[in-house]
Structure formats: C-alpha cells, structure tokens
Amino acid sequence: MGTLVFVCPTTGHQVSTGIELDRSSYKSLPRTKTSIVCPRCRKNHLLSRIWAWLDSNDPKVVATDTVSSAAPVAQN
C-alpha cells in the first residue's frame, strides 16, 4: 500500500493526495486527467497517473522538500 503523490506545479513541492492504493490498483488507474484540489496551494490541478506515483513511506505526511527535476510536473 502507498499514497498517491504528485508535485504541485505552483509550489514545486511533493504533495500527498491522501488516497491510499496498492500497486495493482495504481497500475489500473486510467491515464486520463482528473481535477484535484491541491492541499498545499488550494488551487485546482489536472492530475494523471503519468504525473503521480505511490509513496509508501508515510501516507499521512505532506512532504515539504522540493522534488528533483527528474520528477514530472503536472500543468494547471
């Protein structure tokens, strides 16, 4: 199990969605874009499985460290 995480395009910070999934469920998510309210900046972002990943470290923590440039960034 892990938590679905993405990079906020406004702040550049890694953000937890609070949605917990197992690897199989994550892989079966459609690649379509879904609007999500970012808990970090409170703006709507379009999120897709190709711009998000599972983080199994601590599903309840919103990270405050910036993510390296290797991580994909979703557009508003």
Judge contact between 59 and 20, C-beta under 8 A. yes
Q: Is the pTM of this model over 0.85?
A: no
pLDDT, residue 59, reads: 40
In this structure, the strands spanning 44-47 and 34-37 are antiparallel
- Here the tokens at position 23 are 């690897």
Divide the 76 residues of the chain into consecutive groups of 10 and give the mean pLDDT of each group: 91 90 88 89 89 72 38 45
**Tens digits of per-residue pLDDT, 17-37?**
888 999 899 888 888 888 989
The residue among 38, 56, 76, 49 whose CA lies nearest residue 1 is 56
